[in-house]
Amino acid sequence: MRKRRLRPAIALAVIAGLLAPGVVTAPPAVAAPTGGKKVIANLFEWNWPSVASECGSTLGPKGYGFVQVSPPQEHVRGNQWWVAYQPVSYRIESRKGTRAQFKSMVDACHAAGVKVIVDAVINHMSGQDNGGVGWAGSSYQHHVYPGIYQAQDFHYCGRNGNNDIVNYHDRYEVQNCELVNLSDLKTESDYVRSRLAAYLNDLLSLGVDGFRLDASKHMPAADIGNILSRLSRPAYIVQEVIYGAGEPITPNEYTGNGDVHEFRYGKDLARVFRSERLAYLRNFGEGWGHLPSGVASVFVDNHDTQRDDGGVLTYRDRGIYALANAFMLAWPYGSPTVMSSYTFNNRDAGPPSDGNNKTHNTVCYSGWECEHRWQVIANMVGFRNATEGAGVSNWYDNGNNHIAFSRTGRGYITINHEGSAINGRSYYTGLPAGRYCDVIHGTFTNGTCSGPVITVDANGWFSANIPAHDAIAIHQNARLP
């Protein structure tokens, strides 16, 4: 959750204790993505029936390993997207659906071979000074959530006249003051830790496989570690810790708990695609000072950066955005997340909804952008799966905006981001001879390709012309008979 400016009073709610607050003794939940399917699709603000359907129709068949869903707990009322990040209780009841629908969604995704990651809000509760009634009818006040939290369970940093964070170069302030008025939980308290663990364990009981921990930077890493130690079973963990130059709190502090979002990745990638040279990407990732690959969660954009960072590529960039995602899915750094958005013009705008602010079922390309379905992006998920674990070899660049590389023995991609076509070139892939589907322009299904076929000769070479701002990608799992 970014530093977001909240709008006036929206109602919010709280439920009496969902689970007993006892401590659960369990191994830390630090399991990283495993197996050959590690790509995450972030279906931002999709409702539960739509996620369930998408797992079976698209995510599973295309090879996505995980789906990340928006916060499922009861929240303040309103249409804005950020109401989901203002909890009022830990009931699984929100504008995206009921507890039963959530459980059905998890089961449907598992049946399709897709694991479920929940965006979990555990740093704070609501930001509404006057309190109110939440989505499911729970009453609340800014620092009182009946049956869950009372005034003593929150931080009051006593700074800036309103307890809000102002100075991000002050560790105490960042982790003890309020993020834009959101009531800041006292995560060093054993009781608060037990309540948060109870919420996460409830989600685990519904089959959830992992958590994206929102606003992790605003909690000491040790507090998060203690909460995770109380989980009933291991789960994949990724933490939102936004890098800030010169700030005392760094993403590296949190890697002991699990993966960490590498926010520099999308901004650096956008800068290269927009105004620098793709040739610079030869050592992209750790070579650029980013987090170690094994703990980095990467994305071209996410729901925060597409609203607040003019320096990232988004769905509005169309073809260049698709190429940047293709590079991300081809390049073996970090665990990639593909963003799936709804169309918006106002940064506060919520998803397509009815008059009661209940989220509509998703209809792709009609108010919903569905980038995860775009042919280039969806087919490059298969490329990522086919090349998992293989290194980079046969790097080529022209010193400017034409690059190519192999994922050794398993796949090959060449991207031409020049302003004109590259014609008459041959490319050394290191792949076995054969006919391969170009998954940038076609889909490989049941041994056939809906687009161009690339022929690799006995020495591992192919010849092709590549238009401006275009690419070719082939891999071992899209080889024709």
- In whole angstroms, give the CA distance from residue 24 to residue 27: 10
> What's the start-to-end Cα distance of the chain, in Å?
48
In tens, the pLDDT along 77-132 reads: 999 999 999 999 999 999 999 999 999 999 999 999 999 999 999 999 999 999 99
CATH T-level fold of 392-478: Immunoglobulin-like (2.60.40)
Tens of pLDDT along 19-33?
222 333 334 444 456
Give the pLDDT band (50/70/90) at residue 310: confident
Of 202, 223, 240, 301, catalytic: 240
Q: Are the beta carbons of 136 and 130 closer than 8 angstroms?
A: no
**pLDDT at residue 1 in the model:** 57
Strand partners, 473: 413
Nearest CA to 4 among 121, 73, 76, 85? 85
pLDDT at site 180? 96
Q: Is the pLDDT of residue 184 over 70?
A: yes
Q: Which of 263-272, 304-313, 420-429 has the weakest average pLDDT?
A: 304-313
Mean pLDDT of the chain: 93
Q: What is the Cα 450 distance to its own chain's centre?
A: 30
Cα dihedral 303, 307, 310, 312, rounded to 10, equals: 10
Dump the DSSP string for 438-460: -TTT--EETTEESS-EEEE-TTS
240 is catalytic: yes
Q: Where are the beta strands (DSSP E) in 109-167?
A: 115-120, 132-133, 139-140
Q: How far is residue 257's CA from residue 245's CA, in Å, rounded to a whole number?
A: 22
User: What is the average pLDDT across 238-262?
Assistant: 98
8 A C-beta contact, residue 133 and residue 78: no
- Under a CB-based contact definition with an 8 Å cutoff, are residues 416 and 402 in contact? yes
CA-CA distances (angstroms) from residue 271 to 55, 262, 309, 325, 415? 33, 15, 12, 14, 16
Tokens 């659906």 correspond to 97
What's the rounded mean pLDDT across residues 49-67? 98
d(Cα 372, Cα 43) in Å, to the nearest integer? 8
Tokens of 343: 């169309």
User: Which residues make Cβ contacts (< 8 Å) with residue 353, sequence separation at least 6?
Assistant: 79, 95, 359, 360
Phi, psi (deg, nearest 5) at residue 188: -85, -10
How far apart (Å, rounded) are the C-alpha atoms in residues 145 and 156?
Answer: 16
What is the mean pLDDT of the segment spanning 459-465? 98
Residue with tokens 């963003």: 339
| In the predicted structure, residue 8 carries a pLDDT above the cut 50 | no
Instruction: List the 402-407 sheet strands across, edge first.
Output: 392-397, 402-407, 411-416, 470-475
Q: Two tokens at 257?
A: 């708990």
CA pair distance 419, 320, nearest whole angstrom? 12
* Distance between CA atoms of residues 263 and 207, nearest Å: 29
CA distance 356 to 78: 9
Are residues 387 and 410 in contact, defined by beta-carbon separation less than 8 angstroms?
Answer: yes
In angstroms, the CA 184 to CA 153 distance is: 9
What pLDDT does residue 475 have? 98
The three-state secondary structure class of 200 is helix
More confident residue, 59 or 8: 59
Neighbours of 161 (CB within 10 A): 7
Both structure tokens of 102: 């959530």
Which single residue is written with the structure tokens 């086919």?
386
pLDDT greater than 50 at residue 4: no
User: Is residue 36 very low, low, confident or very high in pLDDT (cuts 50, 70, 90)?
Assistant: confident
Question: What is the distance between the alpha carbons of residues 182 and 162, in angstroms, rounded to a whole number?
Answer: 11
Q: Rounded CA gap, 85 and 239, in Å?
A: 15
Residue tagged active-site, from 214, 259, 301, 304: 214
Query: CATH assignment of 40-387?
Result: 3.20.20.80
In terms of DSSP H, where are the helices of 71-228? 99-111, 171-176, 190-205, 221-228
Domains of the chain: which residue ranges? 40-387, 392-478
Whether 427 and 479 have beta carbons less than 8 Å apart is answered as no
Q: For the segment 402-434, what is each residue's pLDDT rounded down to a tens digit?
A: 999 999 999 999 999 999 999 999 999 999 999
Mean pLDDT of the 163-169 span: 97
> What contacts 253, CB < 8 A, 6 or more positions away?
221, 241
304 is a catalytic site residue: no
* Whole-Å CA distances, 393 to 68, 310, 407, 459: 32, 33, 6, 16
Q: Which two tokens stand for residue 171?
A: 């560790």
pLDDT of 302 above 90: yes
